[in-house]
Structure 1
Amino acid sequence: MHLSIVAAETAHKTAVVFGDTRISYGALDAASRRIAVSSRHCGLSRGDVMGVMMATGPEVVAAIAAAQRSGLYCLPLAPKLTPSELQYILKDSGAKLLVTDRDNEEKASAAAVDIPDLTVSSLVGIDHLFELEECPNDPDPVEGGDILYTSGTTGLPKGVRRPLGFKPIGSDLKRAERLRNLFAMDADTVFFSPAPLHHAAPLRFSMDLLRLGGTLVLNAHFDAKAALRLLVRERVTHSQWVPTMFTRLLAERDENFSAPSHRVAIHAGAPCPVELKREMISWWGPILHEYYSGTESIGFTHITSEEWLKKVGSVGRPSGCDIHILNDEAEPLPAGQRGKVFFSGREVVSYHNDPKKTAAARSPQGYSTMGDLGYVDADGYLFLTDRDAFTIISGGVNVYPREVEEAISTDSRVAEAAVFGSPDNDLGEVVTAVVELQRDYEPTLETAKMIRERLRAHLSPHKLPRKLAFVDQMPLTHSGKIHKARLRNSWESHCEHVYERTALDE
């Protein structure tokens, strides 16, 4: 299936709901065709990269669909990226077109100044975007894909993309079939995605739902009260969350709340505290489904509420792949023993323009890992116990310490910096920075404020440290490197000067 096929059969069925706006499959199909034609006028051809940077709404869905129906890689970009972050990703990906909206056109144009092969195009310039009349034909109706950026602690974000086969549109059904088989999604599904579509999970779930002919419900930004109202008003059947959203939903809990149509609540993106999940199951009933995967798409596990209550803390059993737990010598470990989690049976991990990182994520057997540690029990259920890297998952969004460390280290007041995640009841983890100052500076609140304020020009808001602490001297390994593992475990007892976000923002 494909949205164009759904449009041909049921043109007036609602495809996207955004506030009071309802876009039919026919209108969405027409808009995505117009954007696809526009991309060809800008010189794109099969296999090229088309960036999409817009606010959430039907337009961004149409733009993503345009790339995916014309043999292009779609590169979704967060409007909150700083100009330097945006320019790095555009250059690294080799994007030839950046489609944007009125609110983001200025930032997009500024980022494109030093990229001669990149064209910026605003949807404002496409007349009658969603009109059914005089709808153009597909310029090249073959399956496209996506390129998404992820990273660890070893540097700047890296792109993940799979080879394109340029098969006829409607033939790429693996993920759509998974939605059908694991989550019982179909043409009658009303799916609420409260997170922006520039994230991997909302992007892929939403676009694959449209292949099944369901209805996608979006909102401009997550608000717990508004989300609960949407579940009822739109008769949502399926939804997708990260654990931080659960915390905020529970804060608005009303025992009289009832959403009878709501039968599947999917969550992933970050570890979910056991008691938080118990509370959600107690409130909503056993409708929670958890999965473990990643941008790399090398593996997938799934667990229902009923299973989880018997296997508390598990992220489920593998679906369409095999799990291997290996020790540091890449030797298989038996059930119950912790090691690095690897997958096989799906795509082998590959990072765009980064053979070193690609090699580090593969085992001698050809298995692939996302860098997590865990174990499999005797029944085949996976339990994650830690992250091999220091990637911070804050509110379901990855923050990469090396990027933050590098930004802090360019400050003349800073001698050394280490960044890691520290536990937080609301966000799961928060970005925490420990700084060793140059000799001439004092570890005062004013110094902390100046360091953090300077970071605003270099980092998106969610990457800014929520805790900033000063240490007299960094703990070092025998080879002279900062001993980050020791620091992360003992920083509170070793840092006399610790400043939290509330004080830093005053």
Structure 2
Amino acid sequence: MTESRRTGLWRIAADEPDRIALVDPSGTEWTYAELAGAADRYARGFAERGLVAGDCVVVLLPNCADLVACYFATFESGLYIVAVNWHLTGPELGYIVSDSGAKVFVAGARFAEAAVTAADIAGIAAENRFAVGEIPGFRPLAELAAAGPGRPANRTTGAPMLYTSGTTGRPKGVRRPLTGADPDDVPPAAGAFFGLFELKPFDDHVHLCGSPLYHTAVLNFVTISIHLGHKVVLMDGWGPEPMLELIARHRVSHSHMVPTQFVRLLALPDAVRAGYDVSSLRCMIHGAAPCSPDVKRRMLEWWGPVVTEYYAATEGGGTVISGEEWLRKPGSVGRAWPWSIVRVLDDAGNELPPGETGQIYLQMGGSSFEYHKDKAKTEAARVGNLFTLGDVGYLDEDGYLYLCDRKSDMIISGGVNIYPAEIEGELIVHPAVDDVAVFGVPHADWGEEIKAVVQPAAGVEPGDELTADILAFAARRLAKFKLPRSIDYLPELPRDPNGKLYKRRLRDPYWADRATAI
């Protein structure tokens, strides 16, 4: 890269208009000029409808170029964008659209029924409902761009306001103050974040996006990649072999993944995996969920030390560990980012020494956030300038963080603390297990006992024989007090496409049965 080569969507569009910015799921290529032009037209459309800096736009779209263009339109207009999880029901979506205070709602025809319900609940004006495809009562998205070409009059940097998953209650929007920066400039934090993974501007990088863009990290990786001159390839629905095919075809250098995708990739026959050239990979980044050490080790053996892990939050702050470091510190999620702080505190808010388990707190230097319309939740998650996601873990003497589990998921059986993530990490290695969740269920004497729910691998018949085999396998890898006392089976566990497990949906019925009995 030469010193004069500029970054940022609009500057690259001016300097290298024909450079490919995006390949959508159909294979259609979008140049930087085309993507910047679409963003400008949508931004002018937002302004025509009276939106000003600080207002909010909600998008309910699959992975597509229109979603990315809408993001950049809000980015240059000082608007907040909420990309919502399209697995939610109409009323659940309606709550988010309403809570966010959205002025404009953009939805895809695939989600028409839920979109109409959500827009009605939130009271979105008919003239501010836009659709990609046909949705009753929604206007074609092309009408938003009818204001014509050219940049909007008042350009200032906006931000995403993405909602937490709501696994422990109503989802909350994570909202940061707007910076007032020039949208032509790449935010310094974006370049610094990619620097953690040694991802430099241009440098022939190609980013593959296989997860939905409504997830914070996924959206960030796509938009930062474009700002830094990296071509982005979008998938609309992830599959292990299709991913390998795209890696080979586009010479993909980096992607953002979750451990469940690793498990699916490793389940492919050896001949299939060997049939695709993955030598272009430079940094395959994973987070969002715990990864079994055995799964991680197998991926490192296949792809080499390019597998990098991080632990972070929509709210900010985090850790990172390279593949080479992980082999020296197996099981760790790394050390704090240079501008972040990681602390482990006890229930009284006192810092714990290395090796002692407590609640993990993070801080991103110079940054702040609040949960939208929920001051109490914001304050409850904080100790001074630190905040917690409710995860439990410890730091070693070198400052490497190890996760145990979420505090809310911890099982207390006979007075002993048991961390389900450790058990799940062992059971997932069993060849007949495609996915697994472990949690506590009521026990009259011990308080709780360990329950496992298993999603069997394709072609595997659940039953007593499989249960006995899994438990025997576990007994060779886990202490007796960590062994599940029973195993149930489901054809599919409730995860979102980013790998997050909705464990509460599995656990709650067992406790509800107890309450009914009482």
Q: TM-score, with normalisation over the residues of structure 1?
A: 0.77
CA 467–321 in structure 1, closer or farther in 2 if over 3 Å, else same: closer
Aligned to 2:158: 144
Matches within 5 A, 1:488-503: none
Give the Cα separation in 1 of the matches to 2:165 and 2:346: 22
Over 3 Å counting, the alpha-carbon distance change for 1:470 and 1:201 in structure 2 is: closer
**Is residue 327 of structure 2 the alignment partner of residue 327 of structure 1?**
no
- Whether 2:332 is the aligned partner of 1:314: answer yes
> Is it true that 1:360 corresponds to 2:370 in the alignment?
no
Query: Alpha-carbon deviation of 1:111?
Result: 1.5
Structure 1 unaligned runs (5+)? 392-419, 437-451, 477-481, 483-506
Q: Distance in 2 between matches of 1:196 and 1:293?
A: 18
Structure 1 residues 472 and 91, CA, compared in 2 at 3 Å: closer, same or farther?
Answer: closer
Unpaired segments ≥5 residues, structure 2: 1-6, 134-139, 411-419, 444-489, 495-499
Shift of 1:247: 0.5
Separation of aligned partners in 2, 1:341 and 1:178: 21
Greater Cα shift, 33-42 or 22-31: 33-42
SS in structure 2 opposite 1:150? coil
CA deviation after TM superposition for structure 1 residue 17, in Å = 1.0
For 2:291 and 2:180, locate their aligned partners in 1 and report how far apart those are by CA, in whole Å: 38
The verdict on how the C-alpha distance between 1:265 and 1:127 changes in structure 2, with shifts beyond 3 A counting, is same
- Measured after TM superposition, the shift of residue 103 of structure 1 is 3.2
Pair 1:2 & 2:2 matched: no
Change (3 A) 1:321 1:150: same
Distance 2:31 2:153 in 1: 22
Three-state SS of the structure 1 residue aligned to 2:371 is coil
How far is the alpha carbon of 1:229 from its aligned partner? Answer: 0.4
Q: Please give the alpha-carbon distance, in whole angstroms, between the structure 2 residues aligned to 1:428 and 1:376.
A: 28
Matched position secondary structure for 1:74? strand
Do residues 14 (structure 1) and 32 (structure 2) align?
Answer: no
Residues of 1 paired with 2:352 and 2:35: CA distance?
A: 50
Distance in structure 2 (CA, Å) of the matches to 1:435 and 1:327:
26
Equivalent AA in structure 2 for residue 175 of structure 1: A
What residue in structure 2 maps to residue 245 of structure 1? 261
The answer to whether residue 135 in structure 2 is matched with residue 121 in structure 1 is: no
Equivalent positions of 1:87-486 (< 5 A) are 87-118=94-125, 119-123=128-132, 125-127=140-142, 135-151=149-165, 154-171=168-185, 172-187=187-202, 188-252=204-268, 253=270, 254-297=273-316, 299-319=317-337, 320-346=339-365, 347-363=367-383, 365-390=384-409, 423=424, 425=428, 429-430=436-437, 465=505, 474=514
Contact 1:152/1:390 (<8 A) preserved: no
Aligned identity (percent) is: 34
- How far is 1:427 from its partner? 6.9
Deviation at 1:170, TM superposition (A): 3.0
Q: Which one-letter code corresponds to 1:375 in the other structure?
A: Y
CA-based RMSD:
3.2
Q: 1:22 to 1:129 in 2, by over 3 A?
A: farther
Distance 1:339 1:475, change over 3 A: farther
The reply to whether residue 33 of structure 1 matches residue 40 of structure 2 is yes
Q: How big is each residue's C-alpha offset from its partner over 1:62-81, in whole Å with a ceiling of 9 and x where there is no partner?
A: 11111111100010012222
Over 3 Å counting, the alpha-carbon distance change for 1:470 and 1:71 in structure 2 is: closer
Number of paired residues? 425
Bigger shift: residues 23-32 or 169-178: 169-178
Mapped contact 1:349–1:368 kept (Cα < 8 A): no
Counterpart contact for 1:160–1:352, Cα < 8 Å: yes
Which amino acid in structure 1 is aligned with residue 179 of structure 2?
Answer: G
Distance in 2 (alpha carbons) for counterparts of 1:20 and 1:35: 23
Is the 1:189–1:238 Cα contact (8 Å) retained in structure 2?
yes
